[in-house]
Amino acid sequence: MAHDIQAASNKRKIRWRAKHKELARLAALEAKRLHRASLDAARVAAGKLPLAEANREKLRRFRAKQERMKDFIAECWFGPEIVVEAAISQRVTASPNLDSAMVRSFVEACARNCRGASVNMNKFTMLHGAHVSNHCRTVFHELVQSGVPLSEAAQRCHRESFKPDPQLSGVQQALDTCRRFDEAKEKWGDGSEIINALLGRGASSVHSE
């Protein structure tokens, strides 16, 4: 009998604690709601959006910026790799009057040249060639080395031409040009690190040395 009374008392205590814990939780939520409402009222009075709406707008702008950056990257020398078969299909669709065997031969040759230069076969290399991509990579590397911000260098390297050292000539100039090409290739490869840095993916090790 005494055991049953004690058990019933314990159950009442448990229910009481659970009830008051829930009441405290609801009170805390209501306090937060009122605080947010107060903050939102102050923001609106100052001509700003309510916090939740402002956060949604901030996220929308961020996503739009990312999409614009992806579109920009797709046009660059370091744009993502295009699979050979997909590239052939795209070229055939874009130029239906061309012989499909000729298109395949062109794309496969472009892919070989890109592998030789250690650059991606992408929209840029399909249009301009792997050698121009190699030039852009070298210009990009030297701009970053000189302290130009990465995003600015990514734009300027497509506008500024690669120039051999005018103080050298002949074999010396050729060797210096090869050295510059190799340094850029060693540092940046196909440009994957640049894409990650521009899109803010994780901790990037991109920096000038």
DSSP characters over the chain? -HHHHHHHHHHHHHHHHHHHHHHHHHHHHHHHHHHHHHHHHHHHHTT---HHHHHHHHHHHHHHHHHHHHHHHHTSTTPPP--HHHHHHHHHHH-TTS-HHHHHHHHHHHHHHHHHHT---SHHHHHH-HHHHHHHHHHHHHHHHTT--HHHHHHHTTTSPP---TT--HHHHHHHHHHHHHHHHHHHTTSHHHHHHHTT-S-------
Q: Which is more confident, 183 or 9?
A: 183
Q: 42-75: per-residue pLDDT in tens?
A: 888 888 888 888 889 999 999 999 999 999 999 9
Per the structure, the count of domains in the chain is 2
Going by pLDDT thresholds of 50, 70 and 90, the confidence category of residue 161 is very high
Mean pLDDT over all residues of the chain? 89
Instruction: Give the lowest-confidence range in 1-10, 46-55, 195-204.
Output: 1-10
Give the pLDDT score at 204: 47
Going by pLDDT thresholds of 50, 70 and 90, the confidence category of residue 185 is very high
Q: Is the pLDDT of residue 208 over 50?
A: no
Give the pLDDT score at 209: 45
Are residue 188 and residue 88 in the same domain, yes or no? yes
Are residue 176 and residue 142 in the same domain, yes or no? yes
Is 66 a domain residue?
Answer: no
Q: Taking residues 127-133, what's their average pLDDT?
A: 94
Give the pLDDT score at 11: 79
Q: Is the pLDDT of residue 179 over 80?
A: yes
Q: Is the pLDDT of residue 205 over 60?
A: no
Is 206 a domain residue?
Answer: no
Are residue 123 and residue 32 in the same domain, yes or no? no
Are residue 21 and residue 97 in the same domain, yes or no? no
Are residue 99 and residue 175 in the same domain, yes or no? yes
The domain in which residue 150 lies consists of: 71-198
